């Protein structure tokens, strides 16, 4: 039988279809028929589905329940309730709850409320979805509110957004604006000291590559823990100064500290994985992991001796990737809300045109700088800016290095703000970004010492 023949039979509704839905048929015929039924006519007789709800094959029971649900017929409420309680398959039970919810019938309320106690969070979520329709029913609201302490985080989030979030999803005049005194500004100083005088919710995007623990010469920490705690403090501040729902993109990779001698082994530190839990705890929501892939020749060969001896356990792959971990400042508002804060012209002018990166692997050659030992390729910054900011946004790099991100930002009509502790690298930023005259001359580039920057902030107060 073909799909169009099924459509004909279901509309004729003369019992012919019953032959194909007979439980004695083979699973393949039953599956095909149930799967291709599509929308059912209002008068369709659901009796064919009832015996199939007990079929030994889970996929048949699932489709039978789904089709029964399409009828939105209260007559099947008890039948579906029984399935939601007793079927051995969670998928089938969930489908039964979904079907009950779809009835939008107040007699279904007690059944859905009962399901809120189910041990499977997906069933509870399905029941919540069904109950949210009755948003003026006090008993429903009271029962749903109780779930604010549910062990499952997705359930808690839904309930918090529905009943405990007072923020309005309306237009916020200040969302696309940023403080003028931070626009196109680089400060030579410790990021933690600089950020102390930066007000909350000032910036739209942060992209940064922090020091690589003690793997390079410019960073000396007493211990890995001290290093992680330093980053935790910095990213907490970044969170504070980031606007609602905006992004933080962290470029790191596991690093290797070479062995002391042949009697010792080298040590690898999984930096991105160790920082991640801190970020979640402080209120960043994990969004994506993008993998920056470099050509093989650009990385240090780690398997030359393995290629000789070929002995298991001693295998060491050459590391040609770095992570771009994408986080968003946690909010109940959707990304759509962020986009709606911008005027039509800005949205149009910020559109990402042409070829886009379809996957989370970005192939980009590394860049080498005459002064700095670890710089971003300009191309990497341009992509981040295009995907995660709008024109005229204020974007930040706490570990400015040679100023690549600031330079890229200006080339795409975004304002930069950056901090860099080293005097030598700060001079490289000045050399690299220079005196901008092209973009928005109202805010020429400014290079401050920490002292000068603090003075500026004081005069504003
Ligand atoms: C990996 S590099 C960043 C390179 C940069 N992405 C670029 O494209 O040039 C990290 C930088 O952080 C700087 N840094 C380290 N500790 C800092 C601190 N406490 N405050 C500000 N900058 C710091 C280092 O001097 C170094 O230049």
CATH of the domain at 70: 1.25.10.10
Largest CA distance in the chain: 87
- Write down the pLDDT at residue 218: 55
DSSP class of residue 439?
A: S
How far apart are the CA of 246 and the centre of ligand 1, in A? 22
Helix (H) or strand (E) holding 360: none
- Write down the pLDDT at residue 437: 58
Q: Spell out the residues 6+ positions from residue 376 whose beta carbon is closer than 8 angstroms to its own.
A: 209, 251, 367, 401, 404, 405, 408
- Write down the pLDDT at residue 185: 97
Whether 73 maps to a domain, the answer reads yes
Hey, CA dihedral for 288, 216, 378, 397, is it positive or negative? positive
How far apart are the CA of 440 and the centre of ligand 1, in A? 27
Q: Which of 209, 368, 384, 399 to mutate to test the pocket of ligand 1 (most atoms within 8 A of CB)?
A: 399
Kindly list the distances between the CA atom of residue 31 and the CA atoms of 22, 92, 141, 232, 240, in Å, as whole numbers in the listed order: 11, 15, 39, 54, 54
Does one domain contain both 125 and 98? yes
Whether 320 maps to a domain, the answer reads yes
Does one domain contain both 259 and 143? no
Atom of ligand 1 minimally distant from the CA of 234: 19
- Write down the pLDDT at residue 104: 93
Of all protein residues, whose CA lies closest to atom 26 belonging to ligand 1? 401
Does one domain contain both 365 and 266? yes
- Write down the pLDDT at residue 199: 96
Atom of ligand 1 minimally distant from the CA of 219: 15
Of all protein residues, whose CA lies closest to atom 25 belonging to ligand 1? 422
Domains: count for the chain? 2
Whether 171 maps to a domain, the answer reads no
Q: What is the C-alpha to C-alpha distance for residues 194 and 457, in angstroms, rounded to an integer?
A: 10
Of all protein residues, whose CA lies closest to atom 27 belonging to ligand 1? 401
Q: What is the C-alpha to C-alpha distance for residues 274 and 236, in angstroms, rounded to an integer?
A: 15
Does one domain contain both 318 and 361? yes
Whether 260 maps to a domain, the answer reads yes
Whether 174 maps to a domain, the answer reads no
Query: CB of 67 within 8 A of CB of 40?
Result: yes
Does one domain contain both 366 and 255? yes
Of all protein residues, whose CA lies closest to atom 19 belonging to ligand 1? 190
Coil vs helix vs strand at 285 = strand
Does one domain contain both 283 and 378? yes
- Write down the pLDDT at residue 42: 81
Does one domain contain both 210 and 153? no
How far apart are the CA of 295 and the centre of ligand 1, in A? 24
Does one domain contain both 154 and 184? no
Pocket of ligand 1 (CB under 6 A): 190-191, 209, 211, 218-219, 372, 374-376, 399, 401-402, 404, 419-422, 425
Query: How many C-beta atoms lie closer than 10 Å to residue 321's C-beta?
Result: 14
Does one domain contain both 120 and 236? no
Kindly list the distances between the CA atom of residue 402 and the CA atoms of 31, 195, 202, in Å, as whole numbers in the listed order: 62, 19, 23
Of all protein residues, whose CA lies closest to atom 4 belonging to ligand 1? 401
- Write down the pLDDT at residue 89: 96
Does one domain contain both 160 and 189? no
- Write down the pLDDT at residue 439: 58
Ranges of the chain whose pLDDT falls below 50: none
Does one domain contain both 213 and 360? yes
- Write down the pLDDT at residue 35: 95
Whether 172 maps to a domain, the answer reads no
CATH of the domain at 390: 3.40.50.150
Does one domain contain both 126 and 230? no
Provide the b/e sequence for 338-357 (b: ≥16 CB within 10 Å). beebbeeeeeeebeeeeeee
- Parent domain of 277: 180-460
- Write down the pLDDT at residue 214: 75
**How would you classify the pairing of strands 321-329 and 284-293?**
antiparallel
How far apart are the CA of 251 and the centre of ligand 1, in A? 12
């Amino acid at each position: 039988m073909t799909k169009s023949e099924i459509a004909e039979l279901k509309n004729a509704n003369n019992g012919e279809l019953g032959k194909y839905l007979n439980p004695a048929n083979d699973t393949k015929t039953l599956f095909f028929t149930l799967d291709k039924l599509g929308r059912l006519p209002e008068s369709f007789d659901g009796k064919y589905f009832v015996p199939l709800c007990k079929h030994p094959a889970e996929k048949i029971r699932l489709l039978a329940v789904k089709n029964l649900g399409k009828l939105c017929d209260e007559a099947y409420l008890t039948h579906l309730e029984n399935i939601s309680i007793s079927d051995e398959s969670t998928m089938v039970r969930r489908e039964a709850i979904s079907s009950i919810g779809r009835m939008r019938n107040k007699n279904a309320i007690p059944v859905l409320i009962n399901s809120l106690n189910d041990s499977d969070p997906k069933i509870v979520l399905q029941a919540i979805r069904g109950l949210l329709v009755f948003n003026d029913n006090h008993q429903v609201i009271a029962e749903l509110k109780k779930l604010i302490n549910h062990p499952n985080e997705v359930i808690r989030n839904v309930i918090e957004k529905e009943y405990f979030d007072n923020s309005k999803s309306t237009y916020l005049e200040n969302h696309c604006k940023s403080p003028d005194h931070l626009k196109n500004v680089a400060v030579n100083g410790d990021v933690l000291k600089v950020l102390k005088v930066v007000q909350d919710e000032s910036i739209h995007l942060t992209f940064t590559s922090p020091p690589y623990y003690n793997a390079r010469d410019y960073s000396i920490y007493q211990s890995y823990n001290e290093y992680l705690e330093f980053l935790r403090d910095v990213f907490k501040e970044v969170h504070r100064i980031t606007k609602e729902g905006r992004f933080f993109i962290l470029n790191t990779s596991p690093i290797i500290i070479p062995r002391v001698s042949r009697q010792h082994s080298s040590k690898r530190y999984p930096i991105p994985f160790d920082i991640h839990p801190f970020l979640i705890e402080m209120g960043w929501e994990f969004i994506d992991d993008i993998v920056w892939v470099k050509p093989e020749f650009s990385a240090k060969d780690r398997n030359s001796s393995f290629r000789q001896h070929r002995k298991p356990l001693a295998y060491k792959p050459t590391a040609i990737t770095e992570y771009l971990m994408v986080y968003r400042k946690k909010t109940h508002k959707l990304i759509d809300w962020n986009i709606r804060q911008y005027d039509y012209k800005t949205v149009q002018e910020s559109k990402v045109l042409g070829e886009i990166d379809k996957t989370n692997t970005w192939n980009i050659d590394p860049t080498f700088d005459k002064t700095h030992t670890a710089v971003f390729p300009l191309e990497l910054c341009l992509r981040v800016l295009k995907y995660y900011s709008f024109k005229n946004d204020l974007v930040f790099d706490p570990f400015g290095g040679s100023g690549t991100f600031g330079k890229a930002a200006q080339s795409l009509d975004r304002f930069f703000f950056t901090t860099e502790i080293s005097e030598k690298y700060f001079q490289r930023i000045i050399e690299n970004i220079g005196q901008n005259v092209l973009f928005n001359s109202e805010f020429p580039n400014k290079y401050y010492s920490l002292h000068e920057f603090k003075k500026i902030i004081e005069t504003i107060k």
